[in-house]
Structure 1
Amino acid sequence: MDYFNLPSFMKKFNVDTSLNELRIPPEFVSIHGADLSFDCRFVMPRGRSWPVRLLKIASGCHFHAGWADFRIINNIVHDDYLTFTMVDDEIFHVKRYNPRTGCPPLCDVQEPEIESSDDEDYAPDQGVIDDDGCPTFVVTLDWSNIKRSLEIPFAFWRRHIRMNALQDPVYFNVNGDTWYIVLDHNDSKIWVKRGWRRFKNVNYLVAGTRCHFKLIDRNEVQFYVWFDRP
């Protein structure tokens, strides 16, 4: 289907009614409600995406779980106009418009500048460019990784991934299985906050395992992961 003919709707954000959920227009639901998925994903113009769950109750259909996070991270404010284009039964392209200018904010459409890092801060073992052009970093697990968590090289992230993507979920892919990972960070370190224990246990990781993390998607941050076992 032509993109311009895809189902879409517009909403004006109101802090009094839409802080924690956003109601979908009943007219849209009456026509396309049967195609709506319980688990949806919002995709902004620069490719960043957020999972959002749909809630169907007597008052109508609402974007519920995940909406507040999406609103806060994207700094959506009172009277902003939002357009939602349903490109699939679970994916909405979302655009935001400033009510004073009628244009999208520059931060929604322009890539932020990424700080350059000094070569001395970027050891070869922390990141290499494979033959296929995908940046890869390698970690040999030690007992601190097994007992506590995994640290992602800060210089690797700063060089290859948007820093504001640290607020988004990350995905590890192992032989077709996808793992949902949540990160935390400070001014000099990035580590796995949630998801590492299960990932480690299911993949039978032990001290001495050499883990390769190939960055295959910089927008919806995804790594293809494989292991050299001791």
Structure 2
Amino acid sequence: MADGCMPDQDIVANDLGNYRRYYPSSTESEDSDLEPHQDQSGVVSSLPAFTCVLMTSDLERGLNLSSIWWKTNIEDKDSIESATLWVGNNSWDVYVKIKNVDIWICRGWKKFARMNELEVGTLCRFELLPGPVNTFNVTFQRGRRNT
């Protein structure tokens, strides 16, 4: 299943037999960002991150995540995980469901999307923060308006 998510850096897996072959969707760039990320304000970050362009299905059913990115960067890879999404000074608790090779943000995602006025085409960047497990800083780029 193609989704709008991609890792910000190439992922090298030691055991590729456990992973489904990755094919970029039409909403993804084939370029790989191997350098630290610089946001709109000029802040540079080298934290593990992935970027998504939201599609209708992401807003209706939950955000589908890259299984390779998740299994490479998250410690407990094979169960339902709680996660915290930070946007500025606000946080949302969401759950990430893992079933076979499908991984998606489910419970809490619709509220997060509604409260942040997310829409189809919004570019979302999720940075995995050090410290509390499964905590992400999320930034958006939507046309001319950025968060």
* TM-score normalised according to structure 2 size: 0.67
| Displacement of 1:152 | 1.5
- Are 1:156 and 2:60 matched, yes or no? no
Q: Which amino acid letter does the alignment assign opposite residue 134 of structure 1?
A: L
| Displacement of 1:183 | 1.4
Q: Which amino acid letter does the alignment assign opposite residue 118 of structure 2?
A: L
Report the identity percentage.
24
State which of 177, 194, 197 in structure 1 corresponds to 2:110: 197
Q: 1:167 to 1:217 in 2, by over 3 A?
A: farther
Map 1:20-59; keep pairs closer than 5 Å.
Answer: none
Give 2:14's aligned residue: 116
Cα deviation code 1:165-218 (max 9, x no counterpart): 743310111012111011111111101120011000000000000000011137
Give 1:211's aligned residue: 124
Q: Does the 8 Å CA contact 2:48/2:127 hold for their aligned counterparts?
A: yes
Distance 2:34 2:89 in 1: 22
- Are 1:136 and 2:49 matched, yes or no? yes
Q: Which runs of 5+ in 1 are unaligned?
A: 1-114
Q: 1:199 to 1:155 in 2, by over 3 A?
A: same
Q: Which runs of 5+ in 2 are unaligned?
A: 1-12, 37-44
- Are 1:229 and 2:127 matched, yes or no? no
| Displacement of 1:137 | 0.5
Cα deviation code 1:124-145 (max 9, x no counterpart): 8698566232111011001111
Q: Secondary structure at the match of 1:207?
A: coil
Distance 1:117 1:172 in 2: 30
Distance 2:67 2:139 in 1: 20
Q: 1:156 to 1:121 in 2, by over 3 A?
A: same
Q: Secondary structure at the match of 1:217?
A: coil
More helix by share: 1
Higher radius of gyration, 1 or 2: 1
- Give the number of the structure with larger relative contact order, counting CA–CA contacts within 8 Å between residues 6 or more apart: 2
Q: 1:148 to 1:164 in 2, by over 3 A?
A: closer
Distance 1:175 1:147 in 2: 24
